[in-house]
């Protein structure tokens, strides 16, 4: 039995922030209904990996859900929306406020139908400021948080290909939804939970802003080197691999010095703390780079592990799929999907609970796969459903 069994969620989300939030709720037992237009949400078809065109991120973010297609702009569609909301606990969406109002998904409209409803919305910039009407994807949060200005090559800022602002917003939104459910259980009151890409990215880069504000400095872009400690970098190995090492604190630095045969650095005042060592990053990373140059990745990792130093090998995507720890831990669950060459490796619920663990019960739905089933649940007869289909309402 899932901890959220009996909780019903309407998911109007697209791409990542809202859909991954509702996917986590679905993993924990919630009944999540993805509502999308008759031609499918735009996110369904990005980065296609199946015969029917579904993308990899879609398969990840929409497992354990059912799919209803609906033209909600019609009077009949609006009535279906009203019935769905009347039986729901949570509505999740990521669209600007004007779009929410046009779709009847703004908080005032929703609570007029169901007073204790919880609305969870995700936007790019948050509501109430001069940028609130702008649209934006993950990269907007990254580049406006100050983080991208601090990363990349000296002459070229580089944003991160992994959409961390999107997935981070999904997780903060999930936390907010759970707090709202807890509040509702205690008071009977619903509420509006808001998440946004920019504050999520600001949360993740907050230390950079504090450093700038208090010390008046911005450290330069340093490729893969550490932003506050050294040695810290990706080092090339003899067999053309790469290994990451991150040294912080004096005990760890001394263990590293012993490993590379530089005990002479122990008491040198130029390396007395992390800030001073960071200022000499080029020198310390050069020492480590030379030490790695005539060793294989396996040899380097064995030596670093024996010295109890925080290191990791760089894995390719194929390496990850074959990694023995990833396999032993079951981090990737193989789930069949129509039209794929093999079962799809989906990341498990991103946390583990001893009593009520999350579970991937079903694959992501085909477009409109559960439309008839859902309409029947809210009171539509077979003839009515056929008419709605004929009139292209669903």
* Predicted pLDDT of residue 175: 98
Superfamily name and number for 8-204+328-391 = Crotonobetainyl-coa:carnitine coa-transferase; domain 1 (3.40.50.10540)
Q: What three-state secondary structure class fits 290? A: helix
* Structure-token pair, residue 338: 């129509």
Region of 164 (left: φ > 0; alpha: ψ -120 to 50; beta: rest) is alpha
The domain spans of the chain are 8-204+328-391, 242-313
- What count of other Cβ atoms lies within 10 Å of the Cβ of residue 262? 16
Distance between CA atoms of 76 and 273, rounded to whole angstroms?
Answer: 68
Query: Alpha carbon of 4 to those of 52, 154, 219, 226, 356: distances in Å?
Result: 31, 48, 45, 41, 9
Query: Alpha carbon of 318 to those of 301, 315, 323, 329: distances in Å?
Result: 19, 8, 9, 17
Distance between CA atoms of 294 and 113, rounded to whole angstroms?
Answer: 69
* Predicted pLDDT of residue 174: 98
Q: Please state, rounded to an integer, the average pLDDT across all residues of the chain.
A: 96
- What count of other Cβ atoms lies within 10 Å of the Cβ of residue 158? 11
Binned at pLDDT 50, 70 and 90, residue 99 comes out as confident
Burial of 350 (0-12, 13-18, 19+ CB in 10 A): middle
Q: Which of 99-108, 271-280, 289-298, 307-316 has the lowest mean pLDDT?
A: 99-108
Binned at pLDDT 50, 70 and 90, residue 97 comes out as confident
166 is a catalytic site residue: yes
pLDDT at 276 over 90: yes
* Percent above pLDDT 90 for the chain: 96
**233: DSSP letter:** E
Distance of CA 23 to the CA centre of its chain: 11
Q: What three-state secondary structure class fits 280? A: coil
Task: Please choose, from the candidates 226, 205, 192, the residue with its C-alpha nearest in 3D space to the C-alpha of residue 116.
Answer: 192
Burial of 323 (0-12, 13-18, 19+ CB in 10 A): middle
Instruction: Please identify which residue in the block is written with the tokens 């800030």.
Output: 275
* Predicted pLDDT of residue 102: 84
pLDDT at 338 over 90: yes
User: Which is catalytic among the residues 11, 138, 166, 274?
Assistant: 166
Distance between CA atoms of 246 and 255, rounded to whole angstroms?
Answer: 12
Query: Alpha carbon of 219 to those of 123, 149, 189, 387: distances in Å?
Result: 30, 10, 47, 64
β-sheet bridge partners, residue 92: 11, 120
Task: Please choose, from the candidates 36, 171, 150, 151, the residue with its C-alpha nearest in 3D space to the C-alpha of residue 93.
Answer: 36
* Predicted pLDDT of residue 98: 81
């Amino acid at each position: 039995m899932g901890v959220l069994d009996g909780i019903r969620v309407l998911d109007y989300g697209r791409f990542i922030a809202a859909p991954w939030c509702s996917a986590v709720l679905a993993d924990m037992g919630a009944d999540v209904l993805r509502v999308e237009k008759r031609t499918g949400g735009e996110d369904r078809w990005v980065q296609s990996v199946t015969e029917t065109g579904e993308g990899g991120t879609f398969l990840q973010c929409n497992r354990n859900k059912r799919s209803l297609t609906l033209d909600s702009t019609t009077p009949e569609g609006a009535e279906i929306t009203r019935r769905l909301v009347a039986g729901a606990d949570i509505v999740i969406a990521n669209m600007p406020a004007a779009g929410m109002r046009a779709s009847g998904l703004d908080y005032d409209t929703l609570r007029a139908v169901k007073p204790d409803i919880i609305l969870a919305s995700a936007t790019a910039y948050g509501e109430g400021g001069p940028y609130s009407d702008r649209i934006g994807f993950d990269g907007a949060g990254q580049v406006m948080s100050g983080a991208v200005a601090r990363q990349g090559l000296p002459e070229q800022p580089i944003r991160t290909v992994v959409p961390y602002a999107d997935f981070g917003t999904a997780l903060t939104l999930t936390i907010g939804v759970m707090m709202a459910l807890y509040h509702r259980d205690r008071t009977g009151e619903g509420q509006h939970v808001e998440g946004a890409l920019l504050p999520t990215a600001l949360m993740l880069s907050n230390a950079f802003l504090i450093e700038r504000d208090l010390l008046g400095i911005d450290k330069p872009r340093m490729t893969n080197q550490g932003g506050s400690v050294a040695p810290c970098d990706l080092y090339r190995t003899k067999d053309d691999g790469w290994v990451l090492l991150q040294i912080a604190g004096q005990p760890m630095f001394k263990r590293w010095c012993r490993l590379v045969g530089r005990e002479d650095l122990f008491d040198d005042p130029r390396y007395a703390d992390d800030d001073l060592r960071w200022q000499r990053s080029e020198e310390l990373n050069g020492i480590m780079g030379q030490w790695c140059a005539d060793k294989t990745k396996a040899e380097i990792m064995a030596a670093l592990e024996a010295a109890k130093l925080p290191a990791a090998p760089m894995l390719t995507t194929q390496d990850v799929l074959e990694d023995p720890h990833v396999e032993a831990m079951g981090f990737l669950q193989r789930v069949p999907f129509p039209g794929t060459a093999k079962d799809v490796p989906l990341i498990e619920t991103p946390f583990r609970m001893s009593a009520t663990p999350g579970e991937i019960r079903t694959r992501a739905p085909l477009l409109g796969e559960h439309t008839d089933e859902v309409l029947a649940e809210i009171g539509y007869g077979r003839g009515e459903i056929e008419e709605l289909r004929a009139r292209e309402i669903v």
